[in-house]
């Protein structure tokens, strides 16, 4: 076994040419890591954008469906009131008031509920 050397005699600084390949390798590995992180960020952004596009398509589809439902519902109620006014339907005033009240409440509730669900705030 060799005797331990005096620390002052050791060349702990080393020569700079020996460290260059190590520093190049560290730099190369850092660049690979940064590129991999950038690729992950880009992939996540693409997925988020794809999801947002799908959300917009779905929102448009359901908003159109809700508008159509509300319009048909209101036309049906208008038709009932027209038949009542022309005397083709005979209902008491209480029935007509209940029909008008519940129809209005249902239309407002459905429209409000669906629109709040489809167009949530981005908090």
The whole domain housing 103 covers 26-118
Residue 111 in any domain: the answer is yes
Please tell me the predicted confidence (pLDDT) of residue 69: 85
Mind listing the pLDDT tens digit for each residue in 76-108? 888 988 898 898 988 888 988 898 889 888 888
| Neighbour count for residue 39 (Cβ, 10 Å) | 10
**How many H helices and E strands in the chain?**
2, 0
Structural domains of the chain, count? 1
Residue 78 in any domain: the answer is yes
Residue 93 in any domain: the answer is yes
Residue 109 in any domain: the answer is yes
Mind listing the pLDDT tens digit for each residue in 12-51? 555 555 557 788 888 888 888 998 899 899 999 999 999 8
Residue 7 in any domain: the answer is no
Confidence (pTM): 0.54
| φ, ψ dihedrals at 6, nearest 5° | -65, 130
């Amino acid at each position: 076994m060799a005797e331990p050397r005096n620390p002052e005699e050791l060349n702990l600084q080393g020569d700079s040419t020996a460290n260059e390949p190590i520093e190049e390798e560290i730099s190369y590995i850092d660049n690979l890591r940064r590129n991999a992180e950038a690729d992950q960020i880009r992939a996540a952004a693409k997925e988020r954008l794809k999801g947002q596009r799908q959300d917009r398509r779905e929102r448009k589809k359901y908003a159109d469906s809700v508008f159509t439902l509300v319009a048909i519902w209101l036309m049906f109620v208008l038709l009932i009131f027209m038949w009542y006014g022309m005397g083709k339907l005979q209902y008491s005033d209480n029935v007509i008031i209940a029909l008008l009240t519940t129809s209005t409440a249902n239309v407002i509730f459905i429209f409000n509920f669906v629109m709040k669900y489809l167009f949530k705030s981005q908090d």
